[in-house]
Amino acid sequence: MILLQLYPEANLELVKAMLFHDCHERFVGDMPSNVLWSNADLAASFSRLCNQADEKLGLQFALTPIERNWLAACDKLELFMWAREQLALGNFRVNTMIDNLVVWFDKNAMNVPKLAWELFMTYEVRRMDD
């Protein structure tokens, strides 16, 4: 888990939030990030649905602003790493997603934890030997 690699002192509440942050997708679906980023009204409606599902599932976590920054940054880092790996495999359809993630990191630079920022800036796709 990226969170524990970058922030090993994360408390249990943050670790649980990271583990369960997408569980609502089982009930409301998984909306592609690019769709949400391009339509603020849809994103707000979808967010409300996700929050309602999280509440019904008992998956609401009391996080500090710093912990919410860690959660958001690690979630976006995971998507960024996946997209970069897809690009390396020849999936050029992820270029827009990568561009949007770069914009997200730039806009949120002041809130992204330093180690998460450093991983974002230096991440390289590497394959293990076959």
* pLDDT one-digit tens code per residue, 54-70: 999 999 999 999 999 99
Together in a domain, 114 and 88: yes
Tokens matching residue 122? 């230096």
End-to-end C-alpha distance for the chain, whole angstroms: 24
From 8, 36, 62, the end of a domain falls on 62
Together in a domain, 57 and 68: no
Q: Measure the CA–CA gap between 25 and 45, rounded to whole angstroms.
A: 14
User: pTM to 2 decimals?
Assistant: 0.89
Residue 76 lies in a domain: yes
Together in a domain, 68 and 58: no
Q: Measure the CA–CA gap between 41 and 37, rounded to whole angstroms.
A: 10
pLDDT at 126: 86
Together in a domain, 122 and 86: yes
Average pLDDT of the segment spanning 105-120: 98
Residue 3 lies in a domain: no
Q: Write out the residue range of the structural domain in which residue 97 sits.
A: 63-130
Query: Domain tally for the chain?
Result: 2
